[in-house]
Amino acid sequence: MRKSEVKILVIHGPNLQLLGTRQPGVYGKQSLAAINRLLRQDAARTGARLTIVQSNHEGEIVDAIGKAKGAYQAIVINPAAYTHTSVAIRDAIEACGVPAIEVHLSNIYAREKFRQTSLIAPVCHGQVSGFGVLSYRLGLQAAIHAVKT
Ligand code: DQA
């Protein structure tokens, strides 16, 4: 690994392991593995190194964020359903002090009322929502930008 390499933690929240078959009209046809491959290609091009985790468990996500300080310079997170419910993930991001970018495949503001509130966004650097896989790619670019500037 090059010393100057930017290390980024990518976190996929609950049910995202089902991408590809889960409501493809809403979340697209690409599998999580395909999305991760694209992100790794983007990262390699820009000199970033990714660690990618997916968890259906709130506590595991909190643990991963809690260990991020010192190990990663930025976090890209799709908290999935926890976006709308998790004070614990919000507090973990706020406490760890590592800049985080929130991403969503779908436009959460154009969906059901309960999805239109993110408890996570206020403690993030920014949010990308509604562009499918491009949301992740833009989120990754934003994370690298946040580190380098
Ligand atoms: C999601 C939107 C959430 O409301 C939902 O619970 C998800 C995926 C998205 O990427 O569009 O699981 O985060």
Residue 67: pLDDT band (50, 70, 90) is very high
Residues with beta carbon inside 6 Å of ligand 1? Answer: 15, 78, 80-81, 83, 104-106, 108, 115
pLDDT confidence of residue 2: 57
Dist. CA 118 → ligand 1 center (Å): 11
Beta bridge partners, 7, equal 49
**How much is the pTM?**
0.96
Query: 33: which 2 tokens?
Result: 């593995």
Fold classified for 6-148: Rossmann fold (3.40.50)
Q: Which amino acid is at 146?
A: A
Report pLDDT digits (tens) over 114-126: 999 999 999 999 9
Pairing, β 100-104 against β 126-129? parallel
Half-sphere exposure for 144 (CA within 13 Å, toward CB):
19
CB 61 within 8 A of CB 76: no
pLDDT confidence of residue 30: 97
